[in-house]
Amino acid sequence: MKSDSLISIKHFDVGVLPRRSVSDGQLLNDDDPAILAVTDFTREHPATVDEERQIDDALADMVRLGVRALLVVREQRVIGLITSYDIQGERPLQFLQSSTYDHHRDIRVGHIMTPWDELLAVEWQHLDAARAGALLAVLEEAGMTHLLVVDSAAKGEAPVVRALVSKARLLRQLKGLRRAG
């Protein structure tokens, strides 16, 4: 390498991914397109976790990444969703009571996640026509904290998980504008 180079190259022992922005995107009105309230995986890498990860480690990952949910994956396939509410709520205790496990430290993501076949999703093209206020109403009426957004696949193929809707993020985006206005 030339000594007069304008770019300095270094060796680092370790690297970490950046935290997601606390601002969670733009502020929204109820009548703004709902598509503005999603984490679109065509623009942002999804936060994922392996089903064998210990739940406290998964929660630490969420804190580090600034998210409240992780897609649970096995060999590039989404098999479920785990949220901070799942880990910090009743699910670990319920699992211990109904299993042969004795310790909290033995609980894995796969033990308490919501499996794929129990997750609700909306198709991308339907969300594309929806409004932010209507999306919040759907989440509140269903008692959901997160909603998957999928692109329909060709017949016989698995749908592509295109995005994730977070109720907490949507609330911040809507209330932030109400405070600013």
Sketch the domain layout of the chain as residue ranges.
34-180
Which overall architecture, per CATH, does domain 34-180 show?
A: Roll (3.10)
Mean pLDDT of 122-146: 92
Pair of tokens at residue 148: 């998957």
Predicted pLDDT at 152: 80
Burial (CB < 10 A; 0-12, 13-18, 19+), residue 146, is buried
Residue 2 has pLDDT above 60, yes or no: no
Name the pTM for this structure: 0.81
The CA distance from 48 to 2, in Å, is 41
Predicted pLDDT at 162: 92
**pLDDT grade, residue 181 (50/70/90)?**
very low
Identify which has the larger pLDDT, 6 or 79.
79
The CA distance from 37 to 147, in Å, is 11
Angle of CA points 67, 153, 127, to nearest 5°: 50
Residue appearing with tokens 């733009």: 26
Residues 84-129 have pLDDT tens digits of 999 999 999 999 999 999 999 999 999 999 999 999 899 998 888 8
Residue 176 has pLDDT above 90, yes or no: no
Predicted pLDDT at 50: 97
